[in-house]
């Protein structure tokens, strides 16, 4: 049995981490049985990040590497029929989401004050004193350093949001009138796209990214469609859930 180690649900979503949510959506879409283990213990994770899986003793970390592992072991029902061009398009969309748009979402969650207040309460509100003060301070400082090291954190808030809005506009153009990002059936890139868009559109936080996404009817409909098809399944999956 695959054990999915990930953050607990937050903000009304199956997961507030787009990468954890992406992997759980993939498991649901590929119809692979799994159980969930909720944790905030990043130092115990193989690479210091979530998600990671334990597949009957085989440990794999990083959402992209996990998907590759699952495809190699269980087959590739979602992407088997894709053309070379479609695979290239999927890779380009993944890079846009995971290597660029992600940093704008991170900024809105951890650095901007409205988002930080929400994030601090969701992840650290249950900690006892003085950890409730010390841990979020250290975590936010670490995220600020990551943003600065990446380069996104060196820009003004207006510039950061302009980058993110351009990504949202590009996603809307890529989706167009299709049901899914690569056509009329879901593929693995939809796990990533739905996870990121849900973490923008379905979180109770008003940001320039959310306003931009709400301005694209196709993205809103897509997010609602994916939520209807898969979010409930992910909430019900993993009856052996544990928390640490």
Domain boundaries, the chain: 2-78+234-243, 84-230
> Could you tell me the pTM of the whole model?
0.93
In this prediction, residue 41 has a pLDDT band, given cuts at 50, 70 and 90, of confident
In CATH, which of 1.10.10.10, 3.40.50.620, 2.30.110.10, 1.20.1050.10 is domain 84-230?
Answer: 1.20.1050.10
CB burial string 184-204: b at 16+ within 10 A, e below = eebbbbbbbbbbbbbbbbebe
CA 163 to chain centre: 18
Q: Name the token pair of 147.
A: 């943003």
The mean per-residue pLDDT over the stretch 77-86 comes to: 96
How far apart CA 174 and CA 101 sit, in angstroms, is: 15
At 40 the pLDDT is 87
Is the predicted pLDDT of residue 239 greater than 90, yes or no?
Answer: no
In this prediction, residue 42 has a pLDDT band, given cuts at 50, 70 and 90, of confident
Task: Give the CA angle between residues 51, 193, 183 to the nearest 5°.
Answer: 135
Q: Which of 19-23, 121-125, 144-148 has the lowest mean pLDDT?
A: 121-125
CB 131, CB 72: distance < 8 Å: no
Is the predicted pLDDT of residue 192 greater than 90, yes or no?
Answer: yes
Sheet of strand 242-243, all strands in order from the earlier edge strand to the far edge: 58-61, 52-55, 2-6, 34-38, 242-243
Is the predicted pLDDT of residue 196 greater than 80, yes or no?
Answer: yes
Q: Name the token pair of 162.
A: 């302009």
CATH of domain 2-78+234-243: 3.40.30.10
- Secondary structure, 3-state, the chain: CEEEEECCCECCECCCCHHHHHHHHHHHHCCCCEEEEECCCHHHCCCCCCCEEEECCEEEECHHHHHHHHHHHHCCCCCCCCCHHHHHHHHHHHHHHHHHHHHHHHHHHHCCHHHHHHHHHHHHCCCCCCHHHHHHHHHHHHHHHHHHHHCHHHCCHHHHHHHHHHHHHHHHHHHCCCCECCECCCCHHHHHHHHHHHHHHCCCCCCHHHHHHHCCHHHHHHHHHHHHHHHHHHHHCCCCCEEC
The mean per-residue pLDDT over the stretch 36-58 comes to: 94
Q: Which single residue is written with the structure tokens 């940093």?
A: 103
The mean per-residue pLDDT over the stretch 23-40 comes to: 96
Is the predicted pLDDT of residue 241 greater than 80, yes or no?
Answer: no
Q: What's the whole-number average pLDDT of the chain?
A: 94
How far apart CA 190 and CA 26 sit, in angstroms, is: 8
The mean per-residue pLDDT over the stretch 84-94 comes to: 98
Query: Are domains 2-78+234-243 and 84-230 of this chain identical in fold?
Result: no
At 243 the pLDDT is 60
């Amino acid at each position: 049995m695959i054990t999915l180690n990930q953050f607990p649900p937050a903000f009304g979503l199956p997961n507030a981490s787009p990468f954890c949510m992406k992997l759980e959506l993939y498991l649901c879409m590929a119809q692979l049985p799994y159980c969930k283990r909720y944790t905030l213990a990043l130092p115990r994770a193989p690479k210091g990040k979530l998600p990671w899986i334990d597949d009957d003793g085989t440990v794999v970390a990083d959402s992209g590497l996990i998907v590759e592992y699952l495809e190699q072991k269980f087959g590739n029902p979602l992407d088997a029929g894709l053309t070379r061009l479609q695979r290239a398009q999927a890779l380009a969309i993944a890079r846009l989401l995971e290597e660029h748009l992600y940093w704008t979402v991170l900024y809105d969650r951890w650095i901007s004050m409205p988002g930080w207040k929400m994030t601090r309460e969701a992840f650290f509100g249950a900690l006892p004193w003085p950890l409730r003060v010390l841990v979020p301070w250290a975590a936010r400082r670490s995220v600020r350093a990551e943003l600065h090291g990446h380069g996104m954190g060196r820009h003004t808030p207006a510039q950061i949001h302009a980058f993110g809005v351009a990504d949202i506009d590009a996603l809307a153009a890529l989706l167009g009138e299709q049901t899914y990002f690569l056509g009329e059936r879901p593929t693995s890139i939809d796990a990533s796209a739905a996870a990121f868009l849900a973490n923008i559109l379905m979180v109770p936080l008003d940001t320039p990214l959310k306003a931009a996404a709400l301005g694209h009817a196709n993205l809103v409909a897509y997010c609602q469609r994916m939520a209807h098809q898969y979010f409930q399944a992910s909430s019900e999956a993993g009856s052996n859930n544990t928390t640490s």
